[in-house]
């Protein structure tokens, strides 16, 4: 290869490199600024293919999509000076590319750090102006809306970003408070359990006493009815016996004597000491004659 060819090859390579570095592309998901010797000359480069002067102009691109700042769980005091552990996050995106670049050098880590400090300050102000109930449930939506609005106002001009939303993931009591709260809850539940047991025992005694009373009443009424039935049966039996006796008094007397003999001589060991001329043996005497 001669000298002219080598010079031509080098010149072609330089032209190709300059041509390659003269074009840049900004995607739809990106925000970009054009610099000239480190100074911003175009603050918001639109998406598409663009030209620049190689080695004089530089392009800084930033992610223009929605990003998440996951804040560190922090301790805040409510209006009653009660401590809460709050875990929150914020959704933000680049709004002003030039201001974002000058404030953070285009680094997301710097933006997250500064945004995190302002988020913590805003949360501290909002929790400090509310009671525990309001912060946890009563005004939670209003609290997050006010934090979002105040944080957005403070960072738009300073960092060039827009805060879309702030959400509280969890609100817990500090660990040392949790223990006392759980112990108090346990003692309260034990007290309620004792009250329910005492009420249940009292109710059971009442039911048992009422059942015993009803049992005694039922037994007494049954005994009374049984005595009435027994008396009616005895009366009916006496009437039947009397009617039967009236039809044939002689046979009835004989039948009763036989029953008396059967019952008297049921056991061979029984001994009767009677006068042989007693009426008890009148039917035996007649049979002997």
Average the pLDDT over each of 49-63, 128-142, 161-175 and give the range with the smallest value: 128-142
Residues 57 and 127 in one domain: no
Residue 178: CB partners within 8 Å, gap ≥ 6? 172
Query: What range defines the domain where residue 25 resides?
Result: 3-63
Task: Classify residue 226: in a domain, yes or no.
Answer: no
Residues 46 and 122 in one domain: no
Cα distance between residue 38 and residue 52, in whole Å: 14
Residues 32 and 79 in one domain: no
Determine if residue 57 is left, alpha or beta; phi over 0 gives left, psi from -120 to 50 gives alpha, anything else beta: beta
Number of other residues whose CB lies within 10 A of the CB of residue 46:
10
Residues 164 and 79 in one domain: yes
Quick check: 30 and 62 in contact, CB under 8 A?
yes
Give kind and range of the element (H or E) at residue 90: strand 83-94
Cα distance between residue 42 and residue 26, in whole Å: 13
Task: Classify residue 144: in a domain, yes or no.
Answer: yes
Task: Classify residue 264: in a domain, yes or no.
Answer: yes
Residues 95 and 135 in one domain: yes
Residues 46 and 84 in one domain: no
Residue 269: CB partners within 8 Å, gap ≥ 6? none
Please state the pTM of the whole predicted model.
Answer: 0.54
Task: Classify residue 158: in a domain, yes or no.
Answer: yes
Domain count for the chain: 3
pLDDT in the model for residue 276? 60
Q: Which residue, 63, 79, 100, sits at the end of a domain?
A: 63
Residues 83 and 167 in one domain: yes
Residues 59 and 84 in one domain: no
Task: Classify residue 218: in a domain, yes or no.
Answer: no
Q: What CATH number has the domain bearing residue 79? A: 3.30.479.30
Given a cut of 50, whether residue 288 has pLDDT beyond it is: no
Residues 23 and 90 in one domain: no
Task: Classify residue 51: in a domain, yes or no.
Answer: yes
Task: Classify residue 186: in a domain, yes or no.
Answer: no
Mean pLDDT computed over every residue of the chain? 81
Residues 110 and 44 in one domain: no
Residues 145-187 have pLDDT tens digits of 888 998 998 888 888 899 999 998 888 877 766 666 677 778 8
Task: Classify residue 209: in a domain, yes or no.
Answer: no
Cα distance between residue 39 and residue 9, in whole Å: 35
Angle between the N-to-C axes of helices 175-247 and 249-264, in degrees from 0 to 180, rounded to the nearest 10: 130
Given a cut of 80, whether residue 255 has pLDDT beyond it is: no
């Amino acid at each position: 290869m001669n000298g002219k060819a080598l010079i031509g090859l080098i010149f072609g390579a330089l032209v190709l490199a300059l041509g390659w570095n003269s074009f840049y592309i900004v995607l739809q998901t990106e925000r970009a600024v054009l610099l000239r010797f480190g100074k911003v000359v175009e603050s918001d480069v639109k998406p598409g293919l663009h030209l620049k002067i190689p080695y004089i102009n530089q392009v800084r691109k930033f992610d223009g999509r929605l990003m998440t700042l996951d804040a560190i769980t922090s301790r805040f005091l409510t209006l009653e000076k009660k401590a809460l552990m709050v875990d929150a996050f914020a959704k933000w995106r680049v709004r002003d590319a030039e201001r974002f670049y000058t404030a953070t050098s285009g680094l997301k880590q710097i933006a997250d750090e500064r945004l995190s400090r302002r988020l913590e300050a805003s949360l501290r102000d909002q929790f400090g102006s509310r009671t525990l109930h309001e912060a946890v449930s009563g005004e939670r939506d209003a609290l997050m809306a006010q934090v979002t609005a105040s944080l957005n106002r403070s960072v738009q001009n300073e960092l060039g970003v827009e805060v879309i939303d702030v959400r509280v993931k969890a609100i817990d009591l500090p660990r040392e408070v949790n223990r006392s709260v759980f112990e108090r809850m346990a003692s309260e539940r034990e007290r309620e359990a004792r009250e329910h047991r005492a009420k249940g025992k009292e109710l059971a005694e009442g039911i048992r006493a009422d059942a015993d009373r009803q049992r005694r009443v039922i037994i007494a009424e049954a005994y009374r009815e049984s005595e009435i039935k027994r008396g009616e049966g005895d009366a009916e039996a006496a009437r039947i016996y009397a009617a039967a006796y009236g039809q044939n008094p002689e046979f009835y007397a004989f039948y009763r004597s036989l029953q008396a003999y059967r019952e008297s001589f049921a056991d061979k060991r029984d001994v009767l000491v009677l006068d042989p001329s007693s009426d008890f043996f009148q039917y035996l005497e007649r049979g002997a004659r």
